[in-house]
């Protein structure tokens, strides 16, 4: 997968080091994660707080440079556990969550980086802030609450060409001076990289079917 990412970056003239691989280990065992760690992978993504809490504390003790991203929806009653466990929270998508995250960071002294999840296809069933509400949420969470918001994240609509959505995300990140752009999964990471992704989140193509 790393070789493929390097190829995809080179193909469009990007520095391969500018694209980070988040290995999505949800529904896969600690042993599977361990194998990836042995191969040198250090950044992992999980979509559930509880599952991550059952797998990663022991691995972290062995691999202090492990970096853990939360890529799934976060309920406010799990904020405390999420702030304690994750290094990056990719799914800030509403004012109440931003408020609770800020309170918990203040209380605990831990400050995981945050990305705002954008519902770039305006899909009713999908998490994420609507594109037209991004500016307001960013102002509230970064400037009013002081959250360390450094990027944007999206999952484009299934069954469509993702490139226009990826391009729109890149334009939003640029317009808001956010350096990080998390987009692209097993099925569409080359298009995401072509559109400027700094982080691709790949599960199935590394670990197999869930």
Q: Which helix (H) or strand (E) covers residue 90, if one does?
A: strand 88-92
Q: Which residue is nearest to ligand PLP (CB)?
A: 203
Task: Please count the residues of this chain forming the interface with ligand PLP, following the rule CB under 6 A.
Answer: 14
Residue of 155, 169, 180, 194 interacting with ligand PLP (CB under 6 A): 155
By CB under 6 A, is residue 5 in contact with ligand PLP? no
Cβ–Cβ under 8 Å, residues 28 and 210: yes
User: Smallest gap, in angstroms, from Cβ of residue 56 to ligand PLP?
Assistant: 16
Give the per-residue contact string, 16-55, with ligand PLP (x = CB under 6 A; - = no): --------x-x--------------------x--------
By CB under 6 A, is residue 2 in contact with ligand PLP? no
Concatenate the DSSP letters of all residues of 121-175 into one string. T--TTS-SB-GGGHHHHHIIIIIIS---EEEEE--PPTTS--HHHHHHHHHHHHH
User: Smallest gap, in angstroms, from Cβ of residue 186 to ligand PLP?
Assistant: 3
Where do contacts with ligand PLP occur on this chain (CB under 6 A)?
24, 26, 47, 71-72, 155, 185-187, 201-205
């Amino acid at each position: 997968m790393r070789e493929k990412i390097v190829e995809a970056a080179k193909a469009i003239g990007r520095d391969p080091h500018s694209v980070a691989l988040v290995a999505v280990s949800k529904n896969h065992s600690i042993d599977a994660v361990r194998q990836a760690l042995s191969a040198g992978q250090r950044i992992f993504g999980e979509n559930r707080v509880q599952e991550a809490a059952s797998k990663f504390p022991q691995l972290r003790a062995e691999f202090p440079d492990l970096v853990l991203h939360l890529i799934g929806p976060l309920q406010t009653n799990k904020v405390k556990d999420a702030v304690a466990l994750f290094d990056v929270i990719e799914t800030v998508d509403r004012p109440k969550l931003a408020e609770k995250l800020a309170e918990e960071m203040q209380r605990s002294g831990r400050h995981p980086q945050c990305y705002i999840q954008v519902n770039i296809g305006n899909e009713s069933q999908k998490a994420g802030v609507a594109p037209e509400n991004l500016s307001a949420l960013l102002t509230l969470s970064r400037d009013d609450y002081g959250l360390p918001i450094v990027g944007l994240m999206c999952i484009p609509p299934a069954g469509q060409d993702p490139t226009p959505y990826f391009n729109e995300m890149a334009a939003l990140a640029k317009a808001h001076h956010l350096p990080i752009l998390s987009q692209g999964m097993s099925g569409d990471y080359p298009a995401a990289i072509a559109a400027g992704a700094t982080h691709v989140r790949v599960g199935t193509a590394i670990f197999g079917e869930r």
